[in-house]
């Protein structure tokens, strides 16, 4: 969709307009029409014949018929629609098509550009496009239409969700993205026609964060540079104006020096029988501003405003030319990069070097940046993915085009990587943040032991490398050797590093891995695996808790009974129920009530009829009148072996406290209500009681299972568990456990404290635990 809102809507049956006929525009093969001679043309308007000539200049076998028909179809379809500028709306798709001819895009892509807004902004459908132009064009137009529908709206949550759909849509055919980038480029060129500064700024920011980096990732550098510069002009107008003015001033003093350096380069290369084309270029304002910001220097301190490019015939000539340049001037080692031997992921290949050149007109020796590449490499550098189309007969495979990858270049790598990231995560907002990180950051290039190139954002670690090779490699990673030396997984990588990933089938996933990883792909994969392992852990723990509480309530636990209660519980599967129990989201009392209506469990784990407010304890207490109602105070949960006291309520019921209970001390009931109680000898009786404990552990996969295993070894059952105060580093577990007496609880807590992952383990609601 064009960013500039159109006025009017036309299509079959719509009233005639100054540049559209009222007859049906659906045409068939052989029906070549010519645009009306009286149609008004805005400045820069490309005529039908000129567009066809542009395409045939680089593809003599291009189907002239389909180009002509698409031109007329789009012009008639858009009819009287106009842009914010006042130009006929058709000038926009025509300009997009012209931009793509500069990249020498295949004819299908050019036709798609002409038709890219027809389905969205007129009455025509994808079916109409397929009928007139075939399935391939219809598929591409439909893809661009979907991309337009998923452009980022205002509001973070809507942005994140729409960007997810945007990524999925562009991953099907990279030509769809190519048309969308050309569409955005033309809209940015005409952005000044919007009156509202806020809208211009929003569009410019979106372009800077999404579209410009995407253009760079598929190698279309000319798109990226222009999109960045226009966005920069809108977002930082003062900075753009200042740098542009300084560049103009610099040109008046530097032109002669630039020409002299270029001539010197040509002469020295010619002297070594190297045929070379030498050109110079001035960096764009945004590129200069970015370098000033990153290096924290002023404009006057920059010594590489101008760069030179040397184009040669053969790859071997690149290295010969490099030798000539380095013999002539002193090179700067930190500025040297060989992207011929180690191409970038978008197949960019070139040698970059910098030297201290000859004195300029002002007598100073300037640092000179020089790029050396072949003409073929230059084509790829300028046109990116568009340089890899191989033209063929449309009937051969039904699509009329195929991608020819040079080296290991995959134009779908970035879209696929972003899709993987979204598929692995549940949070679209977080995925959007990491997607921007992936797109924005500069890249490094590392190698597997078999010399496969792995491109990563700068600052990536060995762990990121493992996940970039394959998710399975990352999941099974236990270490890494960098340049044959074993290093920690958190070690940052540099271009040229050879990384061997050490693997194990039972590799753990420490919680800190997510903080070590830099790339969105690695973070998403780690998060996904941790969630799965935690789910498995909660599943096992939940089932153990449920079985224990059901048994204590003298109720049969069966998966069949739980399955029959799924609707009551609002869950989709028995597994979901057990996970919720293990995670503490579903009290076992609710599960019992759902499976056995009329029975439930108190928060302390005491099984009782749902209608009663007290229970008959499973432990023997001396000093009670037979038949009296007794309840254990939840504030201190007394256990056999502890000193206890009873408090008589107005209704005669007895509440049992420990003598150390803070709540009892605060309430200070009159002495007439106090009862002197003690535990009877229970060694020969089947007795138990429930206690609540708080355990603080290091947050990590397997910790819950480890703690539950220690508790089980002491013959203690977990009745309920709730996870609270969860952070990236630590986790508090609130547990209700069933024990015989205070001594067993004390021994169990001591065993839990001995575990390496446990920070603290103590009883909740009683001071006496420390004295036992």
At 442 the pLDDT is: 63
Higher pLDDT residue, 218 or 120? 120
Spatial separation of the C-alpha atoms in residues 108 and 392, rounded to whole Å: 12
At 162 the pLDDT is: 55
Lowest mean pLDDT across 210-224, 460-474, 607-621, 725-739 = 607-621
Average pLDDT over residues 433-450: 65
- Using alpha carbons, list the distances in angstroms from residue 115 to 41, 133, 139, 549, 718: 18, 10, 12, 67, 66
3-state secondary structure of 643: coil
Average pLDDT over residues 106-113: 92
Reading phi first (left if > 0) and then psi (alpha if -120 to 50, else beta), residue 273 is in left
Higher pLDDT residue, 165 or 487? 487
Tens of pLDDT, residues 33-60: 444 433 444 445 788 889 999 999 988 8
At 249 the pLDDT is: 81
Please determine, for residue 574, whether its predicted confidence score (pLDDT) is greater than 50.
yes
Q: Give the residue among 291, 261, 254, 267 at the shortest CA–CA distance from 279.
A: 261
Spatial separation of the C-alpha atoms in residues 379 and 377, rounded to whole Å: 5
Catalytic position from the list 53, 59, 120, 514: 120
Catalytic position from the list 121, 183, 606, 642: 121
Spatial separation of the C-alpha atoms in residues 26 and 284, rounded to whole Å: 45
Spatial separation of the C-alpha atoms in residues 593 and 577, rounded to whole Å: 14
At 494 the pLDDT is: 85
Spatial separation of the C-alpha atoms in residues 603 and 173, rounded to whole Å: 57
Tens of pLDDT, residues 587-639: 877 888 888 877 654 433 333 333 223 334 455 677 666 667 788 887 888 88
Taking the CB of residue 567, how many other CB atoms lie within 10 A of it? 8
Lowest mean pLDDT across 358-362, 382-386, 741-745, 766-770 = 766-770
Instruction: Please calculate the CA angle 187-193-166 and round it to the nearest 5 degrees.
Output: 30
At 737 the pLDDT is: 84
Average pLDDT over residues 241-255: 83
At 566 the pLDDT is: 87
Tens of pLDDT, residues 666-699: 888 888 788 888 887 655 455 677 788 899 988 7
What's the chain's average pLDDT? Answer: 76
Beta bridge partners of residue 658, listed in sequence order:
644
Spatial separation of the C-alpha atoms in residues 539 and 190, rounded to whole Å: 58
Q: What percent of the chain has pLDDT over 90?
A: 19
Spatial separation of the C-alpha atoms in residues 336 and 339, rounded to whole Å: 10
Tens of pLDDT, residues 456-498: 888 889 999 999 888 889 888 989 999 889 989 989 998 778 8
Beta bridge partners of residue 421, listed in sequence order:
none
| Burial track 173-207 (b if 16+ CB lie within 10 A, e otherwise) | bbbbbbbbbbbbbbbbebbeebeeeeebebbbebb
At 73 the pLDDT is: 93
Q: 413-417, 485-489, 556-560, 716-720 — which one is most confidently predicted on average?
A: 485-489
Lowest mean pLDDT across 130-144, 349-363, 386-400 = 386-400
Are 411 and 174 in contact by the 8 Å Cβ rule? The answer is yes
At 614 the pLDDT is: 34
- Please name the residue ranges forming H helices in 79-173: 91-102, 107-115, 118-121, 126-133, 135-149, 156-170
382 is catalytic: no
Are 176 and 148 in contact by the 8 Å Cβ rule? The answer is no
Length of the chain: 772
120 is catalytic: yes
In which band, very low, low, confident or very high, does the pLDDT at 186 lie, cut at 50, 70 and 90?
Answer: very high
pTM, two decimals, is 0.54
Average pLDDT over residues 155-170: 54
Average pLDDT over residues 567-581: 87
Average pLDDT over residues 386-393: 43
At 96 the pLDDT is: 93
DSSP string, 549-572: HHHHTT----HHHHHHTHHHHT-S
Q: What is the DSSP letter of 175?
A: H
At 110 the pLDDT is: 93
At 16 the pLDDT is: 34
In which band, very low, low, confident or very high, does the pLDDT at 258 lie, cut at 50, 70 and 90?
Answer: confident
3-state secondary structure 229-280: HHHHHHHCHHHHHHHHHHHHHHHHHHHHHHHHHHHHHHHHHHHCCCCEEEEE
Taking the CB of residue 756, how many other CB atoms lie within 10 A of it? 7
Specify the pairing of strand 654-658 against strand 630-632.
parallel
Please determine, for residue 297, whether its predicted confidence score (pLDDT) is greater than 90.
no
């Amino acid at each position: 969709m064009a960013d500039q809102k159109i006025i009017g809507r036309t299509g079959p049956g719509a009233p005639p307009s100054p540049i559209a006929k009222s007859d049906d525009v659906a045409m068939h093969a052989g029906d070549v029409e010519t645009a009306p001679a009286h149609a008004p043309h805005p400045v820069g308007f490309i005529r039908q014949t000129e567009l066809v000539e542009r395409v045939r200049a680089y593809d003599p076998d291009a189907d002239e018929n389909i180009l002509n028909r698409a031109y007329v179809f789009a012009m008639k379809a858009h009819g009287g629609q106009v842009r914010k500028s006042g130009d006929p709306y058709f000038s926009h798709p025509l300009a997009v098509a012209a931009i793509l001819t500069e990249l020498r895009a295949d004819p299908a892509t050019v036709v798609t550009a002409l038709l890219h807004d027809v389905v969205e902004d007129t009455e025509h459908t994808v079916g109409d496009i397929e009928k007139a132009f075939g399935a391939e064009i219809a598929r591409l137009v439909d893809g661009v239409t979907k991309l337009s529908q998923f452009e980022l709206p205002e509001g973070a949550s809507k942005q994140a969700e729409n960007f997810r759909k945007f990524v999925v849509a562009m991953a099907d055919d990279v030509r769809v993205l190519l048309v969308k980038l050309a569409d955005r480029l033309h809209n940015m060129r005409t952005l000044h026609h919007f009156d509202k500064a806020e809208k211009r700024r929003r569009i410019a920011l979106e372009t800077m964060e999404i579209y410009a980096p995407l253009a760079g990732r598929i190698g279309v550098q000319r798109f990226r540079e222009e999109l960045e510069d226009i966005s920069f002009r809108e977002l930082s107008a003062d900075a753009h104006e200042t740098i542009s003015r300084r560049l103009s001033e610099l040109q008046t003093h530097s032109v002669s020096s630039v020409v002299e350096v270029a001539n010197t380069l040509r002469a020295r290369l010619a002297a070594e029988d190297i045929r070379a084309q030498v050109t110079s270029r001035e960096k764009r304002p945004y590129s200069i501003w970015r370098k000033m910001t990153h290096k924290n220097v002023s404009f006057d301190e920059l010594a590489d405003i101008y760069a030179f490019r040397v184009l040669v015939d053969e790859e071997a000539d690149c290295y010969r030319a490099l030798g000539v340049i380095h013999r002539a001037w002193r090179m700067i080692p930190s500025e040297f990069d060989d992207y011929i031997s180690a191409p970038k992921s978008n197949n960019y290949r070139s040698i970059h070097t910098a030297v201290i050149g000859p004195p300029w007109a002002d007598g100073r020796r300037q640092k000179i940046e020089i790029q050396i590449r072949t003409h073929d490499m230059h084509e790829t550098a300028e046109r990116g993915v568009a340089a890899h189309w191989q033209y063929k007969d449309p009937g051969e495979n039904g699509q009329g085009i195929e991608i020819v990858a040079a080296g290991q270049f995959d134009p779908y790598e970035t879209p696929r990587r972003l899709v993987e990231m979204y598929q692995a995560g549940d949070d679209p907002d977080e995925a959007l943040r990491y997607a921007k990180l992936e797109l924005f950051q500069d890249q490094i290039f590392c190698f597997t032991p078999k010399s496969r190139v792995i491109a990563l954002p700068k600052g990536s670690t060995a762990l990121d490398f493992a996940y970039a090779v394959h998710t399975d490699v990352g999941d099974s990673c236990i270490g890494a050797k960098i340049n044959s030396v074993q290093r920690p997984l958190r070690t940052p990588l540099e271009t040229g590093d050879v990384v061997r990933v050490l693997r194990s089938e039972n590799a753990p996933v420490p919680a800190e891995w997510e903080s070590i990883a830099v790339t969105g792909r690695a973070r998403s994969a780690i998060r996904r695996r941790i969630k799965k392992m935690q789910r498995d852990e909660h599943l096992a723990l939940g089932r153990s808790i449920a079985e224990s509480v059901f048994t204590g309530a003298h109720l049969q636990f069966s998966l069949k009974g739980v399955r029959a209660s799924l609707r009551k519980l609002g869950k989709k599967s028995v597994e979901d129920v057990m996970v919720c129990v293990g995670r503490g989201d579903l009290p076992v009392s609710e599960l019992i009530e759902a499976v056995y209506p009329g029975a439930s469990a108190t928060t302390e784990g005491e099984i009782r009829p749902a209608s009663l407010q007290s229970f008959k304890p499973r432990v023997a207490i001396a000093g009670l009148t037979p038949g009296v109602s007794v309840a254990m105070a939840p504030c201190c949960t007394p256990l056999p072996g502890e000193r206890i006291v009873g408090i008589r309520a107005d209704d005669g019921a007895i509440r049992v406290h420990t003598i150390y209970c803070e709540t009892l001390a605060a309430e200070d009931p009159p002495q007439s209500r106090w009862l002197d109680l003690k535990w009877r000898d229970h060694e020969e009786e089947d007795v138990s009681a429930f206690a609540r404990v708080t355990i603080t552990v290091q947050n990590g996969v397997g910790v819950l299972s480890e703690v539950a295993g220690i508790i089980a070894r002491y013959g203690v059952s977990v009745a309920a568990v709730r996870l609270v105060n969860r952070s990236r580093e630590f986790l508090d577990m609130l547990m209700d456990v069933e024990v015989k007496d205070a001594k067993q609880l004390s021994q169990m807590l001591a065993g839990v404290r001995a575990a390496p992952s446990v920070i603290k383990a103590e009883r909740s609601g009683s001071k006496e635990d420390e004295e036992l």
